Amino acid sequence: MKTERTTLTRRRFLQMSGVAAAALTVGNLPQRVRAAATAAEKMHIGIIGSGNVGSALGTVWARAGHTVMFSSRHLEANQALAARVGANARAGTPHDAAAFGEVLLFAVPYGALPELGASLADVIKGKVAIDACNPFPGRDGEIAIRARDKGAGLVSAELLPGARIVRAFNAVGANRMRTAHEQPQRIGMPIASDDAEAVEVASRLIRDIGYEPVLVGGLAMGRYLMPGTPLAGEHTPEEIRQIAANLKKSG
């Protein structure tokens, strides 16, 4: 009976996500983070990389009531950004932000991930990490070539060991991220992950930005969550499900 109930629960989750089949693993997130994913409770979010994407998402999350910490290699710039955002925003080093956040956003050039994964290993383990990084060989070098060959989601999981990766926010313009909340849930946001609990947490934050999250599959599908693929740009949730289904059939 317990096995049957577990199977039905997982099937229901996959149907809600618009995925016919995905190998999802369920771990043990802190109770406060799990509760916040399904309630109005606010979270602490560490922003690793406060460029166009990181600053846009962090600003909307802060104004939605979450507490964010912006970080990059330039502390003074992050302090100025936090001051502009106002309430619920602060600044720190990448290590500060990774330790502060119950959920992390990585929005850095892909070539920075190996160093960050090594330097933050002690504080990212077990945390939900939203991977908004895209690999561009001309900018990021060999690691980008490997990520494009194997798939950005799978390689990100290798580079951020122990983090619970959800690939999202990869192929929509940062300016649109700042305004999507004005017409919530009308635009879909494709996401990829092998972790059902992490998907639940990330989905709540994606909805706070104004998008409707659509799970397109496990991290192997992360290869399609980048500019230049059929899933790039703005699509309705149903369009995303159809595009993802066609990608699976073709490849």
- Give the pTM: 0.85
Out of 3.40.470.10, 3.40.50.720, 3.30.470.20, 1.10.10.10, which CATH number does the structure's domain 29-250 have? 3.40.50.720
Q: Other CB atoms closer than 10 Å to residue 116's CB: what's the count? A: 20
Per-residue CA distances from 62 to 44, 65, 237 (Å): 9, 5, 25
Q: Other CB atoms closer than 10 Å to residue 181's CB: what's the count? A: 17
Q: What is the DSSP letter of 195?
A: B
Backbone Cα Rg of the chain:
17
Give the per-residue pLDDT at 185. Answer: 73
**Residue type, position 120, single letter:** L
Give the per-residue pLDDT at 232. Answer: 95
Give the per-residue pLDDT at 49. Answer: 97
Per-residue CA distances from 74 to 50, 79, 81, 94 (Å): 9, 9, 11, 10
**pLDDT per residue rounded down to tens, the chain (251 residues):** 434 333 333 333 333 343 333 334 445 666 556 555 545 689 999 999 999 999 999 999 999 999 999 999 999 999 999 999 998 999 999 999 999 999 999 999 999 999 999 999 999 999 999 999 999 999 999 999 999 999 999 999 999 999 999 999 998 888 889 888 887 778 999 999 999 999 999 999 999 999 999 999 999 999 999 999 999 999 999 999 999 999 998 86
Looking at the DSSP bridge assignments, the partners of residue 128 are 103, 164
Instruction: Give, for 8, the enclosing helix (H) or strand (E).
Output: helix 2-17
DSSP 50-110: -SHHHHHHHHHHHHTT-EEEEESS-HHHHHHHHHHH-TTEEEE-HHHHHHH-SEEEE-S-G
